[in-house]
Amino acid sequence: MDEEKKENVKESLDKQNAELRKQLEESERYWNDTIETLSKKLMKPVQETVQLQAEAISIRQILTEQIKNMSYQVYKFKQKVKIYEKERLEFYILQYPGKTNYGEKAKLIEGELAAYQYRLDIFDIHINFLRETQKDVDIINFGVKNKIRIYELTEME
């Protein structure tokens, strides 16, 4: 791969990474707002809380689906990274004009793969965010169950 083409690929990937970060930041704002809304609904009277339980279960399922889809994207992208890593290793072994040892070759390849690794890190961070959000939904669901149980035991409302 000549230098100009390599630079174009890097610029394209940098641009895609920036767009991905924006999309995922919007997703994080959405989920933060959703959790806040669910939390406020938990404070309402028990009759309105029953509906919240169904909503929390539905939202949890949506989160599970997003985690699954994002994980598939990671696996697909890792496959591309491995292929590119192999191509670069072949280049440094067979065509690189300078004499380098394996450690130096590994560092050169690592530098070239930095934008790819950054994208994988973005995915990992977002998947972790979604998993933590899913835990928050579970906590809200437990709160709903507890509130209903307390109501049943005390018949307060």
Identify the band that residue 56 occupies on the pLDDT scale cut at 50, 70 and 90: very high
Q: Mean pLDDT highest for which of 40-44, 66-70, 98-102, 143-147?
A: 66-70
Which of 87, 98, 123, 120 is closest to 6 using CA atoms? 87
Determine the pLDDT at residue 156: 55
pLDDT by residue (tens digit) across 95-105? 888 788 888 88
Identify the band that residue 107 occupies on the pLDDT scale cut at 50, 70 and 90: confident
Angstrom distance (rounded) from CA 46 to CA 130: 28
Domains of the chain, by residue range, sit at: 3-154
Angstrom distance (rounded) from CA 69 to CA 67: 6
